[in-house]
A = this chain, B = another copy of it.
Amino acid sequence: MISVEEAQTKILSQIVRMPAEWLFLGASLGRTLSSDIVSSINLPPWNTSAMDGYAVVGADTEGASQNTPVHLTVVEEVQAGQMPNKKVGRGEAAKIMTGAPVPDGADAVVKIEEAKCSGKEVTLFDQVEVGAFIRKKGEAAASGERILKQGISIRPFEISMIASLGISQVSVYQKPRVAILATGNELADLHEERSLCQIYNSNSYGLAAQVVDAGGIPMLLGIARDNKADLAEKIARGRYADFIVISGGVSMGDYDFVKEVIEELGVKMIFWKVAMKPGRPLAFGTLFGKPLFGLPGNPVSSLVTFEQFVRPALLFAAGRDRLYRPVVSAVLEDTVKKHRGLRTFLRGIVSTREGKFFVRMTGDQDSGILLSMVKANAFIILPEETEQVSAGTEVSVQLLSDIGLC
């Protein structure tokens, strides 16, 4: 058996980045840039006013005060979206709106609240510094400047930035397509009539949602029954996906045919077992040149192992560099016993009190109990060598989202 980290390293060594595709900017939220964004314009394209006010020659205001105000002649008014028609000379000013280009000659803007205007004359009561309330040409982005680097995830902020450069399409990494196959005679699918001896297929839907959450496109291959022919036929349908994920059938039971079938299909196995709980029977290899994951069939084991192994692989394929969920230190509020030799992932609820993290278990940790998974916002990670952790001990906790912090 290999450790969780060894397994993650072996997996990532087999993953390649997806090729690039062009997307309309508005559809690129959550994707990752596959090439740099370089500005081809200056932003702002000219010196612009940051305020509604008067564009003036700073030197004209020298010595201005309440008692010795300065009077300037307003030569024109410049609205946003207009170019100035006139220069501003000594003794002159131009009324100017926020975002409008500053006329040649002017080198400062006085806020409208600080000026008194009467007809063609404006009176100022204070000195202004050269450059005041002027946004310099190119200060937000200079022509030729690299604005965003390849590998950056596109949030609303990046979309606004890219649009401001006049760029309406971006090159991003393609989304990986992930074939998902459930296995087992005991499974009925949601659209099927369930016979007395069956339970509903839940893994396919949980895994598909995890794929979407990790930026992939799920492709459901349905349920393969516990016989080699059906398994072989359905696994082969995964040939055109970028990843293949099979849940169940990877243990050592008499009817666990997945190993045999993928070997016949030509799999190159990388590992078969990971020293963790839940999730020990976890298979990874490549089939048809695609990464193939054999996840355990218990519902919680399937979700947990996806989070630790498949998700980072999908994020890497989709261009991300930050592959793992944040791990923080938290005070354990329960006393926990575990088996020596296995890294243990318990379902927990993290809360913050006085700036410190605390974590408690969500209840029954049997890997068939989804109810303790839906209550969780984190995994409590206990090291291999430990057999018991007492309440009050600091433990590592992997946060499952920023939404669920109590």
Q: Which residues of B contact A186 (CB under 8 A)?
A: 80-81, 99-100
Interface hit among A55-63, A385-393, A397-405: A397-405
Chain B CB within 8 A of A165 CB: yes
Separation in Å of the A303 CB from the closest CB of chain B?
6
CB-contact partner of A251 in B52, B139, B373, under 8 A? B52
Do residues A185 and B79 form an inter-chain contact, with CB atoms below 8 A?
yes
Interface centre among A299, A329, A352 (most CB of B within 10 A): A299
Instruction: Tell me the complex Cα distance, A351–B201, Å.
Output: 41
Q: Give the secondary structure class of A's interface.
A: loop
Q: Which residues of B contact A196 (CB under 8 A)?
A: 45, 83
Scoring A residues 210 to 252 as 1 if CB is less than 8 Å from chain B, else 0, what string do you get?
1011000000000000100000000000000000000000011
Given the known inter-chain contacts A79-B226, A371-B141, A373-B161, please indicate yes or no for A403 contacting B322, CB distance below 8 A.
yes
Q: Which residues of B contact A302 (CB under 8 A)?
A: 160
Supply 13 A–B pairs (Cβ within 8 Å), ascending by A.
A25-B205, A52-B252, A97-B255, A135-B368, A139-B366, A139-B368, A156-B206, A159-B209, A161-B202, A163-B200, A163-B205, A164-B199, A164-B202
Chain B CB within 8 A of A144 CB: no
Do residues A43 and B190 form an inter-chain contact, with CB atoms below 8 A?
no
Do residues B374 and A148 form an inter-chain contact, with CB atoms below 8 A?
yes
Do residues A201 and B163 form an inter-chain contact, with CB atoms below 8 A?
yes
Do residues B81 and A226 form an inter-chain contact, with CB atoms below 8 A?
yes
Q: Which residues of B contact A206 (CB under 8 A)?
A: 156-157, 159-160, 163
Q: Which residues of B contact A205 (CB under 8 A)?
A: 25-26, 159-160, 162-163
CB-contact partner of A185 in B81, B140, B164, under 8 A? B81
Chain B CB within 8 A of A76 CB: no
Separation in Å of the A394 CB from the closest CB of chain B?
9
Instruction: Tell me the complex Cα distance, A166–B97, Å.
Output: 62
Q: Which residues of B contact A303 (CB under 8 A)?
A: 156-157, 160
Chain B CB within 8 A of A158 CB: yes
Do residues B368 and A50 form an inter-chain contact, with CB atoms below 8 A?
yes
Q: Which residues of B contact A100 (CB under 8 A)?
A: 186
Chain B CB within 8 A of A253 CB: yes
Q: Which residues of B contact A373 (CB under 8 A)?
A: 157, 160-161
Do residues A166 and B185 form an inter-chain contact, with CB atoms below 8 A?
no
Given the known inter-chain contacts A80-B255, A82-B185, A190-B166, please indicate yes or no for A157 contacting B29, CB distance below 8 A.
no
Do residues A140 and B370 form an inter-chain contact, with CB atoms below 8 A?
yes
Within 8 A of B (CB), among A76-115: 79-83, 97-101, 112
Within 8 A of B (CB), among A142-188: 147-148, 152-153, 155-168, 184-188
Within 8 A of B (CB), among A334-392: 352, 355, 364, 366, 368-371, 373-374, 376
Chain B CB within 8 A of A254 CB: yes
Instruction: Tell me the complex Cα distance, A130–B163, Å.
Output: 67
Within 8 A of B (CB), among A307-355: 322, 325-326, 328-329, 352, 355
Q: Which residues of B contact A135 (CB under 8 A)?
A: 366, 368
Chain B CB within 8 A of A203 CB: yes
Chain B CB within 8 A of A65 CB: no
Do residues A199 and B329 form an inter-chain contact, with CB atoms below 8 A?
no
Given the known inter-chain contacts A147-B371, A205-B159, A368-B135, please indicate yes or no for A199 contacting B26, CB distance below 8 A.
no
Instruction: Tell me the complex Cα distance, A52–B255, Å.
Output: 10
Chain B CB within 8 A of A208 CB: yes
Instruction: Tell me the complex Cα distance, A186–B101, Å.
Output: 10
Chain B CB within 8 A of A116 CB: no
Interface centre among A26, A152, A156, A186 (most CB of B within 10 A): A156
Do residues A164 and B253 form an inter-chain contact, with CB atoms below 8 A?
no
Chain B CB within 8 A of A194 CB: yes
CB-contact partner of A158 in B101, B141, B184, B374, under 8 A? B374
Q: Which residues of B contact A405 (CB under 8 A)?
A: 326
